[in-house]
Amino acid sequence: MHIIVCIKQVPDTEEIQKVKINPQTNTIVRESIKSIINPFDENAIEEALRIKEKNSAFVTVISMGPPQAEEALRKALAMGADKAIILSDRSFAGSDTLATSYTLASAIKKIGNFDLILLGKQAIDGDTAQVGPGVAEWLQIPQITYVRKIHIDGKMIRAERSLEDSFELVEANLPVLVTVTKEINEPRYPSLRGLLKAKTTKITHWTSQDLQVDLKKVGLDGSATQVIRVFTPEPPPRGEILIGSASQKADKLIKELKKRNLV
C-alpha cells in the first residue's frame, strides 16, 4: 500500500497572532515568525503512519514551497515517513489554490501508484480548505473531507466525515483523497532514532521541469484569484467595565441583562 501525504509549512499557531500590517506601508509584516508543519497536516502524517503500522504501507510526504519547506519534510521523515519530495521552483511562487492543487497533482501523477492521499482539512494561514478537493479533481479520484476516523480494509476505506452537528459514516474503494480533522489522532513526537535517520535521508527536489507542468497553470499565471489588498480589521466599539465589589458587579450585570431581556 502506498500513502501520499501533502503538507504545508505555515507560521506557528502562537505566532500567527503576530502577523500584522504595517500601517505606514499597508503591507504584511512577518518578521521573525517561526515556521511549523500545518497542525492538521501533522494529523495527516500521523494517520498515514498508523495505517502503515497496521497494514505495512509506504509513506511519501510531499510539500510545495520555498527551499525552507525542507525543514517541515525533515520533521515528517523524523516522525516515520519513508520518502520526502519538495516541489520548489520560482515559477510556483504566488500560486492560489487552483495552481497549488495542479502542481501537487502533477507531482502525484509523476510518483504514479498510490492508494490513499491524505491532507489536513485546511492550512491555518489561508484557512481555505480548497487544496484537497482541488487535488482530487485534478486526479479524477473521489474525495472524503473533514474525516475524523479512518479504517482501511483491503482495497476499501471506511471513514467518519464530520458535519456541523452530525457525522456521516462513508465507504469507498481506494484510491481516494481524504482530508482529516484534529480529532482523528494525536500526532507523535519524532523519536531520537527518527531524528537521526531524517538528518541523513535525502530529500528529493522536483522543479517545474521535473514535473513537466504546463507553465500557464502554475504560480501566478496559473492562479485564477488575485489578492489586491490587505488590511487590518476595524476595531469594534469599546464597552463598559463594571466597577465595585464582585457581588456588586454580579448584581449590576444581572440588572443590565434583565433590562435587555436576556435572563
Partner 1 sequence: MRNEINVIWEKCTGCGRCIPECPLSAIVLENKKAKILPNCSFCGICVKACPFEAIELKRQEKVVDLSEYKGVWVFAEQRERKIMPVTLELLSVGRELADKLGVKLSLLLLGDEEKNVEQLRKYPLDRIYLIQDSLLNYYRTNLYTRAIADLVKEEKPEIILVGATSIGRDLAPRLATRLQTGLTADCTSLEIDKKNRNLIQIRPAFGGNIMATIVSPYHRPQIATVRPKIMKKASPKNERKAEVILIKPKLSSEKIAVNILDLIKEESGVKDLQEAEIVVSGGRGLGRAENFSLIKKLADLLGGAVGASRAVVDAGWIPSYHQVGQTGKTVQPKLYIACGISGAIQHQVGMRTSETIVAINKDPEAPIFNIATYGIVEDLHKFIPLLIDRLEKAQS
In this complex, which beta carbon is closest to partner 1, that of residue 27 or of residue 191?
Answer: 27
Could you tell me the smallest distance in angstroms from the CB atom of residue 131 to partner 1? Answer: 8
State the Cα–Cα distance between residues 178 and 61, nearest whole angstrom.
14
State the Cα–Cα distance between residues 85 and 131, nearest whole angstrom.
18
End-to-end CA distance of the chain: 58
Could you tell me the smallest distance in angstroms from the CB atom of residue 201 to partner 1? Answer: 30
In this complex, which beta carbon is closest to partner 1, that of residue 138 or of residue 206?
Answer: 138
Could you tell me the smallest distance in angstroms from the CB atom of residue 11 to partner 1? Answer: 7
DSSP H or E stretch at residue 204: strand 204-206
Residue whose C-alpha cell reads 516522525 in the numeric block:
79
In this complex, which beta carbon is closest to partner 1, that of residue 40 or of residue 206?
Answer: 40
In this complex, which beta carbon is closest to partner 1, that of residue 60 or of residue 179?
Answer: 179
State the Cα–Cα distance between residues 186 and 49, nearest whole angstrom.
12
Asked if residues 93 and 99 have their Cβ atoms less than 8 Å apart, the reply is no
Could you tell me the smallest distance in angstroms from the CB atom of residue 214 to partner 1? Answer: 12
Residue whose C-alpha cell reads 489588498 in the numeric block:
229
